[in-house]
Amino acid sequence: MPEQWTIGRLLAWTTDYLKRQGAESPRLDAEILLAAACGCQRIDLYTAFDEPADDAVREKFREWVRRRAEGTPVAYLVGHKEFYSLSFRVSPDVLIPRPETELLVVRLLDLAKERGLERGAIAIADIGTGSGIIAVSVAKHLRTAHVAAIDLSPQALTVARENAAAHGVADRIEWFQGDLFAAVPPGRQFDFIASNPPYVSSAEFAKLPPTVKDFEPHLALEAGPRGTEVIERLVPEAANRLKLAGSLLLEISPMIELAVREILGQQPTLEAGPTIKDLAGLPRVVQASKRA
């Protein structure tokens, strides 16, 4: 009698297979895909190790494993990714959320508390909102925040709207489709402007792993030959849109920190603060405040 395909056997075989295909985290990938195929949490797999997987689960799981081996990111296969303890829907129209962006969210929340803004209405702009992770996370944790979420891609805004609705903050987020502040009414100003803009240079983009370069949206990744092309346009617009003492927070590539700080230094109304480093000690979030 052939050996049964139990949950445990599927995990072991798939982990070994994905490892041979060069996956960076084969066991984690296998667990996430199998849990999604089973419609359960990852932890539930361990209480069902010896249970047989039914044909429908095996068929869905087999297809996902095949596509994962071809390079498709796990988040796009299962359709969601956790960010700042919240689950966000993702699709190939948006970047997959990354832990580094949480540094920006944490800094914004800390600044709001330091300035006592959490007790009153807070105006925030999220430039290049993508799946809405910054806009939604900030609105979720600052109950008085009103966010202008902006993106050039209508498909990205559709995903972001779904995430805002799922987390109960859609009534405090206003959506704008356009390039930077072009679609935002003139004269509208903000306490905070946050952005995870395209900041990958053309040379860096060519060296990105295929799982990123071939699957995630180029529009949200590659800025141009220098990597600062979008930021060069964003900073002066942000300087005009910030309220006095307002803050600008930008996620960046460590390779362009000095160039970005130079761009900030060209704006007489902006004063750059310390760059926030990620867990690897690399420059990740630059910040500046609006002065008189």
Per-residue pLDDT of the chain (292 residues), as tens digits, is 456 889 999 999 999 999 999 888 999 999 999 999 999 898 899 888 888 888 899 999 999 999 999 999 999 999 999 999 999 999 999 999 999 999 999 999 999 998 877 667 899 999 999 999 999 999 999 999 999 999 999 999 999 999 999 999 999 999 999 999 999 999 899 999 999 999 999 999 999 988 899 999 999 999 999 999 999 999 999 999 999 999 999 999 999 999 999 999 999 999 999 999 999 999 999 999 998 7
> Does residue 227 form part of some domain?
yes
Contact between 249 and 105 (Cβ < 8 Å): no
Given this model, what pLDDT does residue 1 score? 41
| Cα–Cα dist 282/199, whole Å | 15
The last residue of one of the domains, among 70, 103, 125, is 70
* Same-domain pairing of 183 and 98: yes
* Same-domain pairing of 148 and 245: yes
Given this model, what pLDDT does residue 89 score? 97
> Does residue 85 form part of some domain?
no
The last residue of one of the domains, among 55, 70, 85, is 70
Instruction: Give the domain CATH number at 145.
Output: 3.40.50.150
Query: How many other β-carbons are positioned within 10 Å of the β-carbon of residue 197?
Result: 18
- The one-letter code for the residue type at 143 is R
* Same-domain pairing of 121 and 264: yes
* Same-domain pairing of 31 and 63: yes
> Does residue 88 form part of some domain?
no
* Same-domain pairing of 115 and 35: no
> What one-character-per-residue DSSP string does 31-65 give?
HHHHHHHHTS-HHHHTTSTTSBPPHHHHHHHHHHH
* Same-domain pairing of 34 and 119: no
Q: Hey, is 196 helix, strand or coil?
A: coil
Query: How many domains would you assign to the chain?
Result: 2
Strand extents, DSSP E, the chain: 80-83, 86-89, 122-127, 145-151, 173-177, 190-195, 200-201, 222-224, 242-251, 270-272, 276-277, 283-290
Is residue 217 packed enough to be buried (19+ CB in 10 Å), middle (13-18) or exposed (0-12)? middle
Query: How many other β-carbons are positioned within 10 Å of the β-carbon of residue 88?
Result: 26
| Cα–Cα dist 14/26, whole Å | 8
Residue-range definition of the domain harbouring residue 56: 7-70
| Cα–Cα dist 171/193, whole Å | 19
* Same-domain pairing of 58 and 111: no
* Same-domain pairing of 106 and 164: yes
Given this model, what pLDDT does residue 46 score? 85
| Cα–Cα dist 270/125, whole Å | 17
Given this model, what pLDDT does residue 118 score? 65
Residue 1 contacts by C-beta under 8 Å, 6 or more apart in sequence? none
* Same-domain pairing of 61 and 106: no
Given this model, what pLDDT does residue 284 score? 97
* Same-domain pairing of 64 and 179: no
* Same-domain pairing of 120 and 196: yes
* Same-domain pairing of 112 and 56: no
The last residue of one of the domains, among 15, 35, 70, is 70
